[in-house]
Amino acid sequence: MRATYLFLLCSLLVPIVVCANNLPNFLTADSDKEYRATINHLRGLLPKNGIAEILPGLASPYSLLDVHPTKFTSAEDKNDFANFNLGVMSNAIFKADPNFVTSLPNRVLCNQTSCRNQRVKAINKLLIQQDVIRDFFKDNVDITIVQQSDDKVFRVNNAFFTPAGIIQYQPSAVAGFVPSGDATFFNNVTNIEACDLCSTRSAKVRDIMAKHHVAAMVKESDGVINIVFEGISNNHWGVKLSDNSDVKPVKGQPNALGYPYDDVIAITPTVIDYQTN
């Protein structure tokens, strides 16, 4: 959670992203405009000054407030932006107490044997379904992200499904923000062309996610399936499923999102329990 508190203070002192009349190193004038558009869009979707306790759910991995700069190339910039984004979201939408926000990583992070063992047990239960999960991503190559809050609120790729309708996002032009201010609203799935029958095709794997309390499943560019059980900002824990024992997390190195691996436990050569921080 490095630099979170500094970024949070900046967001509390001045509107949205400008601190001391300067942009953070990872934002340009153009990407700043894109981020402001994203914030304004998200403000329009959510109740003003909402209850802060719902922030962890809305900002969980790949959920609505977990904005990703998909065109950033620097791992450090991606990591710093994750911290910054949580601080901005907590203030711009929730007016949350800074102490509450900075305490959120403690709900996720684990550095003791007892909680590690509990995580391994949860992973082993999920692994009973690993063939189903692997086959899903092999059979549905156009689906790379599945996120679920509950059975009626979920995400497939860049489409967010809710009982009120579906929001399809295009990555912003410069930073590639998703969600972004470039959103299209649909009343039903028949009008979505970006991913044909995504909600139907992902139903079985989403059932598995609900049963095992998984926040998101992502097929990464190296072919690894990243299963995120829980997370906030750059603090995630989960399991990586790989077909190649040479492709695995390394403690201290960044993952695909730029978040450094803080803990790595090999359950098998191709199944790795991990934590980022």
Could you tell me the maximum CA-CA distance found in the chain, to the nearest angstrom? 53
Strand order in the sheet with 225-232: 183-186, 165-169, 159-162, 153-156, 145-150, 216-219, 225-232, 235-241, 271-276, 261-268
Q: How far apart are CA 49 and CA 154, in angstroms?
A: 23
Other Cβ atoms within 10 Å of 228 Cβ, number: 22
**Short-list 233, 223, 242, 219, CA closest to 262:** 233
Higher per-residue pLDDT: 63 or 198: 63
Place of tokens 């993952």: 255
Least-confidence region, from 2-6, 129-133, 265-269: 2-6
pLDDT tier, 47 (very low <50, low <70, confident <90, very high otherwise): confident
pLDDT, tens only, 213-258: 999 999 999 899 999 999 999 999 999 999 998 888 999 999 999 9
| Cα atoms in the 13 Å half-sphere on the side-chain side of 171 | 11
Task: Show the tokens assigned to 163.
Answer: 């009982």
pTM passes above 0.85: yes
Contact 12, 101 (CB under 8 A): no
Expressed in angstroms, the distance from the first to the final Cα of the chain is: 6
Q: How far apart are CA 147 and CA 227, in angstroms?
A: 10
pLDDT tier, 8 (very low <50, low <70, confident <90, very high otherwise): very low
Contact 75, 258 (CB under 8 A): yes
pLDDT at 13 over 60: no
| pLDDT computed for residue 194 by the predictor | 64
Q: How far apart are CA 160 and CA 64, in angstroms?
A: 8
Q: How far apart are CA 34 and CA 163, in angstroms?
A: 27
pLDDT, tens only, 158-177: 999 999 999 999 999 999 99
Contact 156, 199 (CB under 8 A): yes
Residue ranges of domains in the chain: 4-105, 113-168+196-276
Q: In what helix (H) or strand (E) does residue 134 lie, and over which residues does it extend?
A: helix 130-139
3-state secondary structure of 125: helix
Quote the percentage of the chain above a pLDDT of 70.
91
